[in-house]
């Protein structure tokens, strides 16, 4: 190859341009590494290798006797030369011109490089005589197919570009993403790499990161507040505890003097006063060790001051065992309640105990109806405790209160012994305890004691006469003699049938 050979001149021009761009890239790379401690090394290896490869391809073309390979080797030499010059020029622009103004994100470097590499390939194909219009049309179709197949990847790419426009963090920052705390190790076009305190690496896709709430602990200042809680006894004034703890927090390694630590009373807990220590640290990776040091210091401070840290205590209350004769006591209580009723005053205690054994204790809240007028019923009720009201429905549709019932009161005897519907409504005025005596027990009692049948008959006549009087608008109590002998005989006849 002669000096005036066009191919030789082209080779020298290409090598010269490549060397000049490589030298400029070396200068820009040196400046970047002085500005950024974490700047990657070895950026010039690729363009230098491409430049050497260009020379080798040109030399190989000169030694190859086959003319068919000459054009192909020339195109390959052109492509590697363009790649070398383009890569060097990219380093000059991004690390030299733009890098001196603002740090260029790695994702922008990668996208720019891929775009320039595509242009180099298009220029080489154009030199080979290819129809670039057809290639671009085919490329557009392939791009559409790849776009549909790589939606998630493209979403991560777009999200990465959007975050690079206004980056919420930089490599080296500590961030919290969805409750996961880690240091940003790398932020590329697809994902963000976090290194946790457990020395594990978490890869978060940019699309997911763009939708998450990001807490940047390192911005705007690399400070982190730690919240530590402990309890003190109620016997020691909170002011003394706060003063004691604050004095001991000043010289703990890792705890900053400014912003100053603080101690607050958070709440009064079951076992003691809850205190809240707030300290600021810069050494985020060692935050757990600093928390432990604060807790250890608090323990020693309180121990030297004679203040015990309270702990939850439980008082176990074991109810006393019921007496062996609990059933007898309950039965005697029911017998006493029945004995307060005038109707049962003539019943011998032995028979009254049998009736009490068959009775059932029922409780009602205030405002609750025990029985309703017109409903069927089989139980007789004795009031043990509380207050109840007896109401009757009048022809006008309203209710009229005809009497009040307290302890010792009796109601429901007409339905229980006569089998008729409830003649009145009884509603609790307050929380009440009742004894419900079933009809079968009453019938057995009447059958055993005919004198009780007479007393119950008189009682029923009086009660029915009172209810009838109030329904008709009267207010006077009607005695059994005034109710008429026919009514009394009819009720006695009903009781006689119930005992037969």
Greater model confidence, 340 or 167: 340
End-to-end CA distance of the chain: 145
Q: How high is the pLDDT of residue 480?
A: 38
d(CA 175, CA 221): 13
Q: Work out the average pLDDT over 374-378.
A: 87
Buried-exposed string 238-269: b where 16+ CB fall within 10 A, e elsewhere? eeebbebbeebbeebebbbeeeebebeeeeee
Q: How high is the pLDDT of residue 352?
A: 87
* 410-414, 434-438, 458-462, 474-478, range with greatest mean pLDDT: 434-438
Q: By mean pLDDT, which of 90-104, 239-253, 406-420 is the weakest? A: 90-104
Residue 369, SS3 per DSSP: strand
Residue pLDDT, tens place only, 350-374: 888 888 999 999 999 999 999 999 8
Choose among 218, 313, 229: nearest CA to 267: 229
CB 436 within 8 A of CB 371: no
Q: CA geometry: angle at 469 spanning 466 and 470, to 5°?
A: 90
Checking 411-414 for CB contacts under 8 A at 24+ apart, the result is: 411/371, 411/380, 411/381, 412/371, 412/377, 412/379, 412/380, 412/381, 413/343, 413/380, 413/456, 413/459, 413/460, 413/463, 414/460, 414/463, 414/464
Residue 266 has pLDDT above 90, yes or no: yes
Greater model confidence, 369 or 285: 369
Choose among 14, 191, 32: nearest CA to 97: 32
Residue 277 has pLDDT above 70, yes or no: yes
CB 296 within 8 A of CB 272: no
Sign of the Cα torsion 199, 201, 202, 205 reads: positive
Residue pLDDT, tens place only, 19-74: 666 676 666 666 666 656 555 566 777 777 777 777 777 777 777 665 666 777 77
CB 226 within 8 A of CB 233: no
Q: CA geometry: angle at 368 spanning 366 and 374, to 5°?
A: 145
d(CA 386, CA 33): 92
Choose among 264, 276, 268: nearest CA to 239: 264
d(CA 346, CA 90): 118
pTM: 0.45
CB 221 within 8 A of CB 174: no
pLDDT confidence of 221, banded at 50, 70, 90? confident
Residue 160, CA distances (Å) to 205, 211, 217 in order: 9, 12, 20
| Portion of the chain with pLDDT greater than 90, in percent | 23
Residue 86, CA distances (Å) to 9, 121, 135, 163, 363 in order: 21, 12, 22, 27, 95
Buried-exposed string 449-483: b where 16+ CB fall within 10 A, e elsewhere? beebbebbbbbbbbbbbbbebbbeeeeeebebeeb
Q: At residue 460, what are phi and psi to the nearest 5 degrees? A: -65, -40
Residue pLDDT, tens place only, 165-187: 567 788 888 888 877 888 888 87
- DSSP state string for 232-250: E-TTS-HHHHHHHHHHHST
Choose among 345, 351, 365, 407: nearest CA to 382: 407
Q: At residue 28, what are phi and psi to the nearest 5 degrees? A: -65, -35
Name the average pLDDT for the chain: 77
Residue 266, CA distances (Å) to 92, 96, 242 in order: 58, 55, 12
Choose among 269, 273, 207, 205: nearest CA to 234: 273
CB 289 within 8 A of CB 197: no
Cβ-based burial of 486 (10 A; exposed 0-12, middle 13-18, buried ≥19): exposed
Residue 270: is the preceding peptide bond cis (ω within 30°)? Answer: no
CB-CB neighbours of 216 under 10 Å: 16
């Amino acid at each position: 190859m002669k000096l005036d050979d066009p191919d030789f001149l082209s080779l020298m021009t290409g090598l010269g341009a490549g060397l000049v761009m490589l030298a400029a890239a070396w200068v820009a790379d040196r400046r970047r590494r002085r500005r950024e401690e974490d700047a990657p090394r070895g950026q010039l290896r690729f363009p230098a290798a491409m430049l050497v490869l260009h020379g080798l391809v040109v030399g190989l073309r000169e030694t190859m006797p086959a003319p068919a390979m000459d054009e192909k080797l020339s195109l390959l030499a052109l492509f590697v030369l363009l790649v070398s010059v383009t890569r060097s020029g990219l380093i000059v622009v991004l690390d030299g011109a733009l890098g001196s103004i603002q740090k260029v994100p790695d994702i922008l470097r990668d996208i720019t490089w891929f775009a320039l590499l595509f242009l180099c390939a298009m220029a080489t194909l154009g030199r080979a005589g290819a129809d670039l219009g057809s290639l671009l049309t085919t490329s557009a179709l392939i791009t559409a197919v790849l776009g549909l197949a790589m939606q998630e990847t493209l979403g991560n790419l777009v999200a990465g570009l959007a975050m690079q426009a206004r980056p919420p963090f930089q490599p080296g920052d500590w961030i919290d993403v969805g409750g996961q705390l880690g240091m940003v190790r790398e932020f590329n076009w697809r994902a963000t790499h976090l290194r946790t305190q457990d020395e594990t690496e978490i890869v978060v896709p940019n699309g997911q990161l763009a939708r998450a709430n990001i807490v940047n602990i390192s911005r705007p200042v690399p400070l982190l507040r730690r919240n530590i809680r402990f309890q003190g006894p109620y016997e020691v004034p909170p002011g003394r505890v706060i003063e004691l703890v604050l004095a001991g927090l000043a010289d703990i390694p890792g705890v900053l003097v400014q912003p100053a630590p603080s101690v607050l009373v958070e709440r009064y807990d079951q076992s003691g006063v809850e205190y809240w220590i707030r300290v600021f640290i810069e050494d985020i990776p060692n935050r757990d060790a600093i928390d432990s040091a604060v807790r250890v210091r608090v323990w020693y401070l309180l121990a030297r001051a004679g203040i015990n840290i309270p702990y939850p205590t439980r008082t176990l209350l074991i109810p006393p065992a019921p007496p062996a004769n609990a059933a007898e006591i309950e039965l005697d209580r029911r017998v006493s309640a029945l004995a307060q009723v005038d109707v049962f005053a003539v019943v011998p205690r032995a028979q009254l105990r049998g009736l009490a054994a068959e009775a059932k204790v029922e409780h009602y809240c205030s405002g609750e109806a025990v029985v309703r007028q017109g409903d069927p019923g089989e139980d007789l009720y004795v009031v043990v405790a509380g207050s109840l009201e007896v109401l009757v429905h009048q022809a006008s549709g309203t209710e009229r209160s005809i009497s009040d019932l307290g302890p010792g009161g009796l109601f429901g005897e007409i339905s229980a012994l006569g089998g008729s519907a409830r003649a009145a409504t009884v509603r609790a005025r307050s929380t009440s305890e009742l004894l419900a005596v079933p009809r079968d027990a009453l019938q057995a009692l009447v059958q055993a004691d005919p004198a009780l049948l007479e007393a119950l008959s008189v009682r029923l006549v009086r009660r029915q006469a009172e209810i009838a009087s109030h329904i008709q608008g009267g207010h006077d109590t009607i005695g059994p003699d005034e109710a008429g002998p026919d009514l009394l005989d009819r009720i006695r006849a009903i009781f006689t049938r119930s005992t037969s």
